Amino acid sequence: MGRYKEKTRELYLQIMFGLIAVILMCLFAKVPDEMEWSIVVFLCIMVIFDRINIKVFSGFGYSFSTVIIGLIIFDRYSMVYGLIYLLADFLFILISGTRVRMSHYTVTLSINIIVIVLMNEYYNEYTEKDYLARLITLLLLLLLTLILRYVYLYLETGKISTKFLLDTFGPMVFEILIIFPILSFFGKFVVNLILLLYLSYYTFIGFLHRKFMGINQKQFEVVVKKLEEKYKFQVCITDLGEIKGACYPKKMLIFIDEKLDFPEQLQTLIHETIHYRLRTLFHISKQLEEVIVTLLEAIISWYYIITLKQEQDLE
**Model confidence pLDDT, tens digit, residues 95-144:** 877 677 777 888 888 998 898 889 888 998 899 989 999 999 989 988 99
Q: Which of 293, 287, 291 is nearest to 275 (CA)?
A: 293
Q: Are the CB atoms for 72 and 194 separated by under 8 Å?
A: no
Res 9: pLDDT: 85
Cα–Cα distance, 7 to 276 (Å, whole number) = 36
Given a cut of 50, whether residue 31 has pLDDT beyond it is yes
Residue 40: pLDDT band (50, 70, 90) is confident
Mean pLDDT over residues 192-201, rounded? 84
Domain 217-314 has CATH 2.40.70: no
Q: Which of 101, 108, 65, 57 is nearest to 84 (CA)?
A: 65
The sign of the torsion formed by the CA atoms of 263, 244, 13, 9 equals: positive
Cα–Cα distance, 24 to 79 (Å, whole number) = 10
Given a cut of 70, whether residue 238 has pLDDT beyond it is yes
Q: Where are the chain's structural domains?
A: 2-213, 217-314
Residue 245 β-bridge partners: 256
Q: Are the CB atoms for 27 and 72 separated by under 8 Å?
A: no
pTM comes to: 0.80
The sign of the torsion formed by the CA atoms of 140, 141, 143, 147 equals: positive
- Amino acid of residue 183: L
Res 313: pLDDT: 47
Residue 22: pLDDT band (50, 70, 90) is very high
Res 246: pLDDT: 92
- Amino acid of residue 253: L
**Chain segment 261-288, per-residue pLDDT in tens:** 998 999 999 999 999 999 998 888 888 8
Q: Are the CB atoms for 115 and 163 separated by under 8 Å?
A: no
- Amino acid of residue 135: L
**Chain segment 42-79, per-residue pLDDT in tens:** 888 888 888 877 776 655 556 677 667 766 667 767 77
Mean pLDDT for the chain?
84
Res 314: pLDDT: 44
